[in-house]
Amino acid sequence: MDDMLRIDTYPTHIFNEYGLRPGHPYPFGANPVPGGINFSVFSRHADYCVLVLFKKDAPKPFAEIPFRGMFTKPGTGEPFWGDFRIGNVFSMVVFDLNIEEIEYGFRMGAGYPKVERGKPGFQRFDPRSILLDPYARAIGGRDIWGQAPDWNNIYQHRARIAYDDFDWESDRPLEIPAENLMIYEMHVRGFTRHPSAGVKHAGTFAGLKDKIPYLKELGVNSVELMPIYEFDELEGVHNHPETGEMLVNYWGYSTVGFFAPKAGYAATGKSKDGTMVVDELKTLVKELHANGIEVMLDVVFNHTAEGNEYGPTISFRGIDNITYYLLTPEGYYFNFSGTGNTLNCNNPVVRGMVLDCLRYWAAEYHIDGFRFDLAAVLGRDQNGAPMLNPPLLEALANDPVLAKCKLIAEAWDAGGLYQVGSFPAFGRWGEWNGKFRDTLRRWIKGDSGIISDLALRLQGSPDLYASRGPTASVNFITCHDGFTMLDLVSYDNKHNEANGENNNDGANDNNSWNCGCEGETDDQGIQDLRFRQIKNAFALLTVSQGVPMMLMGDEMGNSQSGNNNMYCHDSELSWLDWSLLQKNQQLFRFFKNCISFRKAHPVFHNMWHLRGQDYLGTGLPDISWHGVKAWNPDWSESSRLLAFMLDGKHAKGGQSQDNSIYVVTNTYWEGLDVELPGLPSVRGQNWYVFANTGVNTPEDVCEPGAELLLGKQDHLFVGPRSVVILVAK
């Protein structure tokens, strides 16, 4: 086979000094081929397209090569007409380009009237604009986080070509069953940017890699990375009107390029070779996998960084505006995302791009799953109306490459579509369960009237996911969007003044309680109560059926000073302060042991909903409910105590054998004496205490397996606002 010679490695066309030949329409993007690079880009409405080539970072292009026009024949120099287009795809091979040195873009034009900035319009072609390839695998222009670019440069976000030959050795996606996941939601930069992180390359993929031992010790087995597709942290950059602080696009929910990792998150971003960011991220993924940790990406397909009628032309709007965006009948951008525009996800071409993109990340980066931001948008038709069977969601659910990837929806959008429990799942999709968050928050702070709802949430929300099972429910109490766990128990109200929007931004319905004083306090009693409430919350999260997700830093008591919308802060307010780990060691220990306890007990990992019945004849139902009196739960409006017992013999429908577990949660402001359910005598078992948030550390939690024998086996005192977890053995 070594002797087999491809016959398409020589130019058939010459333009100036560049050797060319007709390209391959698929795959889209810029792909190395023998001797050259194949450039391929779609536009349905462009009349013409020009490839624009730059040296890396250069202000002006060194070549512009049309996809259609007069070329010459190699050797003879004879002129002839050529057109490198098939269907609506412009594609050509350019020979002898240095991958590491060049950046490329496109100019496109058509015979539509020019649309002025701020005016409505269906097509926004402007041949003066140099357009980023939607399929660019690496993107320059913001190589070093926060570094101001030359704003006069005509090409701000610059497509690069990346190698896709990473040496993965034997690595592949881990395919951890969803019911066994413990997800850690995190911000790549915020995780290690603080000086206390103690890593060499702070705020980068390489920095995160250095912290893998920490994640492993905590026990999480999935990291969900907030957006890492290329975005522009300087988009909408402005100064706080009073403090003067520079406010940036810190979170990154505004995609510039769907196929490229965020260069500013890579320590190698500053390298002369701008393609190494790809290898750096792949190295991180490989190392996480080697440590048993999956990687999930938070992906934003509902909108792009191009904004509304006033936004910049970066890529899509100059390539084919009406294809890529949802437009009103007048030609304005629909704004179901709350950020200016809405990607036209159920246009077949856009749908294809989303599929290509996710396949690329799954195949080339070994990504284990995706969480879709404002995913309800993905189910809207081309007029913006919700569909019953959205083809994009169906295609994703059935895609062969994505078949083992976790697909998780944030099942709502900014246009008022709320689909928690009703997201078109096609048997595959899970959801961020916002109802779990709201119910658990209300319960923990002591609200009345929600005990029945609580019981549903603890079981994996069978009311919402009857046909899908508990693993459709991603349970969380905190996430990036809102208060941290410490702030949830320290503030009644949001304090977003630092965002410079007069505290008008961010959610108002936080279901939070400050435990007696708004914000920081020296009152030891309040401090103790706050920590107890945090432990209550996390304990209930980890004993709930479904897929638990926690927020980075909650395990060490991270605070954002009451700010519940940190999207614009790149400062100590948003960076994780690692000195908290030492200061709040008791929280870390509690979290770590709870995670370990959950992992050790299959009874928490059911794939099907519990029935409340003894369908295996073990003498106990799979789940039973209790109150102050055993077998007698109080479901009344004012009830603030609920207990449940999970029968270990029913673990995973009887497929696993486990200890039985008893959990009691008391949100009364006073302690209560609770009668315990006696285990069937044939089991000859006793109750042992794994956790009791009502007592001081270190007695609040044990190492799993080292639980303490309960003194009185038939009664238990449960302290005020406390959770107790017992294990039978």
Angle in degrees, CA 412, 417, 420, rounded to 5: 45
Nearest to 637 by CA among 453, 469, 506: 453
d(CA 514, CA 710): 33
Q: Is 191 near another protein (CB under 8 A)?
A: no
Nearest distance from C-beta of residue 22 to another protein, angstroms: 25
Q: Is 3 near another protein (CB under 8 A)?
A: no
Contact 597, 704 (CB under 8 A): yes
Nearest distance from C-beta of residue 279 to another protein, angstroms: 4
Longest dimension (CA), the chain: 99
Subset of 556-615 contacting another protein (CB under 8 A): none
Mark the segment that binds another protein (CB under 8 A) among 166-174, 406-414, 462-470, 518-526.
166-174
Task: Identify the three-state secondary structure at position 73.
Answer: coil
Site string for another protein, 274-313 (x = CB under 8 A): -xx--xx-xx--xx--------------------------
Nearest distance from C-beta of residue 138 to another protein, angstroms: 10
CA distances from 217 to 287, 292, 293, 531, 680 (A): 15, 12, 11, 21, 37
Q: Is 549 near another protein (CB under 8 A)?
A: no
The residues pairing with 687 across neighbouring beta strands, listed in sequence order, are 728
Nearest to 455 by CA among 642, 639, 604, 610: 642
Q: Is 167 near another protein (CB under 8 A)?
A: yes
Mark the segment that binds another protein (CB under 8 A) among 38-46, 98-106, 337-345, 719-727.
98-106
Selected from 166, 333, 513, 604, the binder of another protein by CB under 8 A is: 166
Q: Select 283 or 561, whichever has its Cβ closest to another protein.
A: 283
Q: Is 172 near another protein (CB under 8 A)?
A: no
Q: Select 60 or 272, whichever has its Cβ closest to another protein.
A: 272
Which positions ≥6 away from 585 have C-beta within 8 Å? none
b/e 258-275 (16+ beta carbons within 10 angstroms → b): bbbbbbbbbbbbeeeebb
Which positions ≥6 away from 623 have C-beta within 8 Å? 459, 610, 611, 612, 644, 645, 646, 647
Q: Select 206 or 568, whichever has its Cβ closest to another protein.
A: 206
Site string for another protein, 106-145 (x = CB under 8 A): ----------------------------------------
Nearest distance from C-beta of residue 268 to another protein, angstroms: 6
d(CA 697, CA 530): 14
CA distances from 388 to 7, 394, 426, 486 (A): 49, 11, 11, 40
Out of 368, 373, 413, 554, the active site residue is 373
Subset of 228-267 contacting another protein (CB under 8 A): 267
Nearest distance from C-beta of residue 545 to another protein, angstroms: 38
Subset of 319-338 contacting another protein (CB under 8 A): none
Contact 185, 227 (CB under 8 A): no
Q: Quick check: is 273 catalytic? A: no
Q: Select 73 or 272, whichever has its Cβ closest to another protein.
A: 272
Element (H, E) at 354: helix 348-364
Subset of 621-680 contacting another protein (CB under 8 A): none
Q: Select 99 or 174, whichever has its Cβ closest to another protein.
A: 99
Nearest distance from C-beta of residue 570 to another protein, angstroms: 22
Q: Select 33 or 672, whichever has its Cβ closest to another protein.
A: 33
Q: Is 268 near another protein (CB under 8 A)?
A: yes
Subset of 407-426 contacting another protein (CB under 8 A): none
And the tokens for 537?
């919350």
Crossing angle between the packed helical segments 348-364 and 316-324, to the nearest 10 degrees: 120
How many CB atoms sit inside 10 A of residue 637's CB? 10
Nearest to 39 by CA among 47, 194, 595, 31: 31
Out of 185, 224, 280, 410, the active site residue is 410
Selected from 163, 426, 608, 717, the binder of another protein by CB under 8 A is: 163
Q: Is 165 near another protein (CB under 8 A)?
A: yes
Selected from 101, 126, 364, 505, the binder of another protein by CB under 8 A is: 101
Mark the segment that binds another protein (CB under 8 A) among 251-259, 271-279, 433-441, 541-549.
271-279
CA distances from 536 to 434, 450, 485, 663 (A): 19, 17, 11, 11
Mark the segment that binds another protein (CB under 8 A) among 160-168, 448-456, 521-529, 669-677.
160-168
DSSP state of 51: E
Contact 417, 386 (CB under 8 A): yes
Subset of 200-219 contacting another protein (CB under 8 A): 200-201, 205-206
Tell me the site size for another protein, rule CB under 8 A.
26
Nearest to 480 by CA among 563, 402, 604: 563
Nearest distance from C-beta of residue 216 to another protein, angstroms: 18
C-alpha 528 chain-centroid distance: 32
Residue matched to tokens 């109150």: 627
Q: Quick check: is 410 catalytic? A: yes
Q: Is 99 near another protein (CB under 8 A)?
A: yes
d(CA 485, CA 397): 33
Nearest distance from C-beta of residue 205 to another protein, angstroms: 8
Q: Is 64 near another protein (CB under 8 A)?
A: no
Chain residues in the site for another protein (CB under 8 A): 98-101, 163, 165-167, 169, 200-201, 205-206, 267-268, 271-273, 275-276, 279-280, 282-283, 286-287
Please give the positions annotated as active site.
373, 410
